[in-house]
């Protein structure tokens, strides 16, 4: 009752990492959304980009899993994209519980525009910090992600 033991946590590098992660994510999200066209959010762009890159047809559940968000969250994102005409929803052929999200012409176009809008930002960052820094960082992040994903 006399003194507080102050040495409770020696500022674990793990907590520092989590903290830094949160701050970074904040900065990145706001900066990306500042330049994305048509009021696209980072999540909405992420889904469009994912669909173009993979070229594969996926259900909302598969998309949710790819981005590590809950199914209700992906429902929401897909509905926003649907309202903007960037995707269409078609029923799954063999499983009537499921749906298939297809990107539209407009979706492909806005994704292309978004890439053009992001390019200068990425270029500046690449010049200033070097792309290899990001390759290293990605490989570290992936290790942590895989662990968290498996031990959830």
Partner DNA sequence: TTCCTTTAGTTAGCTATCTAACTATATAAT
Partner DNA sequence: ATTATATAGTTAGATAGCTAACTAAAGGAA
CA distance 62 to 32: 24
CB of residue 145 to DNA, shortest distance in Å: 14
Contact assessment for residue 104 and residue 86, using Cβ atoms and an 8 Å cutoff? yes
Which of 21, 15, 11, 19 is closest to 141 using CA atoms? Answer: 21
CB of residue 130 to DNA, shortest distance in Å: 27
Contact assessment for residue 132 and residue 82, using Cβ atoms and an 8 Å cutoff? no
Contacting its own copies (CB under 8 A), which of 42, 80, 84, 99? 42
CA angle (122 as vertex; 118, 125 as ends), nearest 5: 145
For position 141 contacting its own copies by CB under 8 A, the verdict is: yes
Contacting DNA (CB under 7 A), which of 61, 108, 109, 125? 61
CA distance 92 to 57: 10
Contact positions vs DNA (CB under 7 A): 22, 26, 29-30, 34, 41, 43-44, 59-62, 67-73, 75-80, 89, 92, 94-99
Contact positions vs its own copies (CB under 8 A): 4, 8-9, 11-29, 31-32, 42, 46, 53, 67-69, 108, 112, 115, 118-119, 122, 124-126, 128-129, 131-138, 140-145, 147-149, 151-152
């Amino acid at each position: 009752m006399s003194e507080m033991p102050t040495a409770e946590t020696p500022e674990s590098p793990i907590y520092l990492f989590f903290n830094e992660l949160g701050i970074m994510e904040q900065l990145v999200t706001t900066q990306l959304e500042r330049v994305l066209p048509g009021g696209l959010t980072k999540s909405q762009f992420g889904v469009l980009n994912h669909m173009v890159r993979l070229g594969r047809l996926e259900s909302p559940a598969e998309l949710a899993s790819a981005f590590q968000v809950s199914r209700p969250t992906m429902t929401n994102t897909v509905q926003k994209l649907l309202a903007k005409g960037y995707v269409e929803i078609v029923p799954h052929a063999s499983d009537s519980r499921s749906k298939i999200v297809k990107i539209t012409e407009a979706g492909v176009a806005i994704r292309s525009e978004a890439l053009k809008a992001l390019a200068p930002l990425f270029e500046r960052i690449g010049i200033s910090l070097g792309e290899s820094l990001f390759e290293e960082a990605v490989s570290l992040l992936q290790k942590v992600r895989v662990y968290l994903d498996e031990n959830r």
